[in-house]
Amino acid sequence: MCGIVAYIGKSKNGSQFVFQGLKKLEYRGYDSWGLAVKPLRSQVLKVEKHIGKIGQAKTKLPLSSIAIGHTRWATHGGVTNSNAHPHLDCSRKLAVIHNGIVENYQEIKTELKKKGHQFRSETDTEVIAHFIEEKLKTMSLRKAVFSTFKALSGSNAICVLDSKKETILACRDGSPLVVGIGKDEYFLASDVTPFLKKTKKAVFLKDREGVVLKRHGVSFFNLQTGKKKRIKVKIVNWEVEDAQKGGYSHFLIKEIFEQPKTISKTAELNREVIKKLSLKIKKGKKVILLGCGTASYCAKAAEYFFAHAGIEAQSYGAYEFLPFARFCNSKTIVIAISQSGETADTLIAVKKAKQKKALIAAIVNAPGSTLERLADFTLPVGAGPEIAVVSTKAFTSQLATLYLLSSSVKGKGDLGRKKIKSLDKSLRLWFKNGIKEKIIKLAKMLLDANDIYLIGKHLNYPAALEFALKIKETSYLHSEAFASGELKHGVISLIQKGTPCIALLDSQKKIKEEVLSSAMELKSRGAKIIGVAPFNSLVFDYHFKTPDLKELTLIPNIIVGQLLGYYLGLGRGTDPDKPRNLAKSVTVK
């Protein structure tokens, strides 16, 4: 996935706006970045490209009221200056930026080469610029852009700047694009954060829609018919401050510490939808939970929530769901969990389930996503912009939302809401109690470990999986989680003298005893046991105390993993906001 930002309007600082906007979208790709700017009183495009992250970059760009920019996560072509976007046509009057993969680009490129087009990069994107240039020989700019886009296969979003016509055009099919409507100025971006400061009026493009932005107006089109469309302007309720670091050194740590507020906020959301869905589930609909990565661990945890409510739910990593989609029918509810609502694997799984007539409920954070549009019911989790690449606050809000849903199924909706609401106070109190110093101490203990193993049982098993993922992603340290019951079936052979093992527990008596005895088995083989739990035990070599929240203790237990990942990352010299090789949402298969 990549980030797209564009500006057209009254300001002479359009290029600076795009440059700053790209910094907000850096989470979408940080291999390289670039801009194409039409300077004031000139039609000669100024193009600037750089390898690496845009984060701290400074640049001198000409004054401009029309500019586009891109931050790249490489798919086709290595990380080089020439492969960075924007890409130009032969005449250098058209600049194109792109998010997605043009699956048929080789065929198109071969044809265009035969017609004499000269290519300067190895990317799939560059073919778009030349293809439009070719079509412009026989048709108008709008037709050329739209018909080029329709000829591309795969999931794509493109943005084209024509310096001669002073026009920006964009199309989407499968990759997100949103238009911001300001006063005599218009914005285009992959999400709303670049233009939140300027306007909260947004139009989320749907698949197979196009837009033409000029200085004095914007028009939307149906790409299939080529006709103009009436559109609905949405007011985005995210605050500018939510997308800023607010005094923290990284978004990740800011987002971790926002959780008391973001989790408890979910208690007020989605009341009606939760009621409707729980009724359907109680009437016997089969529940399937889907997500990728962190969201798949949320799905796994929700399996246990539903089991406690007497419902047999089944969770899948969305990327493994297709063989099982055939068992979906009109009696199935598929609950798809996603921060971005744009994860390709999740969308593919959902589309398949939909074909089989399953009812789709989306538990999603980013507004206006593709998943939201596919769903019959949407439960926005309201965690606000999550800028750090690794998911934290969106995950815990998704978890809280599913807890609310399962509580409602159990007939204990009010109690569920009360418990989620009260997390604000209990987590804040816990945070105040010297948590930072304790985590740093733990991080120092683990800094040079080669491997860290985690164990947990029932709800603390998905918690352990998520804990391990946070360490892997943020600090690149190998960590692996197991259900504690699995140890003696093979895994225990990995343990050597001094191997750090983290046991996640809550205070439920029977489970606690089982996990402690698994921890003891590890300790007997030389492991160093770190207990993350509301209570201490003789088995623990080190105890990290979490608040006793009964079945919701998994939330603070996971937060320990988020914080540990962050401080381990700092200690090991990684960039916690932008781990290597990762992108915030994986919009490609």
**Chain positions contacting ligand F6R, by CB under 6 A:** 292-295, 338-340, 343, 346, 390-391, 469, 473, 585-586
Report, in Å, the least distance between residue 125 CB and ligand F6R. 23
Helix spans in 525-585 (H): 554-571
Q: In angstroms, what is the minimal distance from the CB of 294 to ligand F6R?
A: 3
Q: Distance between CA atoms of 464 and 483, rounded to whole angstroms?
A: 8
Minimum separation from the CB atom of position 255 to ligand F6R (A): 11
Position of minimal CB gap to ligand F6R: 293
Question: Min. distance of Cβ 559 from ligand F6R in angstroms?
Answer: 14
- The distance of closest approach from Cβ of residue 474 to ligand F6R in the complex, given in angstroms and rounded to an integer, is 8
Find the shortest distance in angstroms from Cβ 409 to ligand F6R: 23
Of the pair 338, 426, the CB lying nearest ligand F6R is at 338
Question: With respect to ligand F6R, which residue has the nearer C-beta, 163 or 370?
Answer: 370
Residues whose CB falls within 8 Å of the CB of residue 9, separated by 6 or more in sequence, listed in order: 65, 182, 184, 185, 186, 215
The single residue of 164, 457, 584, 589 carrying the catalytic annotation is 584
- Minimum CB separation of residue 343 from ligand F6R in Å reads 3
Would you call 418 helix, strand, or coil by DSSP?
A: helix
Three-state helix/strand/coil letters over 162-187 = ECCCCEEEEEEEECCCEEEECCCEEE
Closer CB to ligand F6R, 374 or 390, in the complex: 390
Q: How far is the CB of 454 from ligand F6R (least distance, A)?
A: 16
> What distance in Å separates the CA atoms of residue 274 and residue 404, rounded to the nearest whole number?
8
Residue closer to ligand F6R by CB (options 313, 388) is 388
Nearest Cα residue to 175 out of 2, 377, 36: 2
Residue closer to ligand F6R (CB basis): 51 or 582: 582
Among residues 63 and 322, whose Cβ is nearest to ligand F6R? 322
359-364/332-338 β-pairing: parallel
For residues 149 and 131, the answer to whether their CB atoms sit within 8 Å is no
Distance from C-alpha of 111 to C-alpha of 352, rounded to nearest angstrom: 34
Nearest of 271, 302, 304, 275 to residue 289 by alpha carbon: 302
User: Residue 167 or 266: which CB sits closer to ligand F6R?
Assistant: 266
Cβ contacts of 276 within 8 Å, gap of 6 or more = 377
366: which DSSP letter?
A: S
- For 142, other C-beta atoms within 10 Å of its C-beta total 17
Nearer to ligand F6R, 175 or 340 (CB): 340
Q: Is 2 a catalytic site residue?
A: yes
By the 8 A CB rule, do 535 and 507 touch?
Answer: yes
The amino acid sitting at 586 is: V
Contact 21, 69 (CB under 8 A): yes
CA distance 160 to 155: 17
Q: What is the CA radius of gyration of the chain?
A: 25
Residue 520 neighbours by CB distance under 10 Å: 15
CB nearer to ligand F6R: give 96 or 344: 344
Q: Is 400 helix (H, G, I), strand (E, B) or coil?
A: helix
Shortest Cβ distance from residue 462 to ligand F6R (Å)? 13
Q: Mind giving me the DSSP string for 66-127? A: EEEEEEE--SSS-S-TTTSSPEE-TTS-EEEEEEE--TTHHHHHHHHHHTTPPP-SS-STHH
Per the annotation, the verdict on 584 as an active-site residue is yes
- What lies within 8 Å, CB to CB, of 46 at 6+ separation is 36, 37, 38, 39, 61, 62, 64
Closer Cβ to ligand F6R, 409 or 471, answer by number: 471
Cβ count within 10 A of residue 237 = 11
Q: How far is the CB of 388 from ligand F6R (least distance, A)?
A: 8
- Which of the following is catalytic: 2, 171, 292, 298? 2
Exposure of 388 in the CB half-sphere (CA atoms within 13 A): 29
The catalytic residues are 2, 584
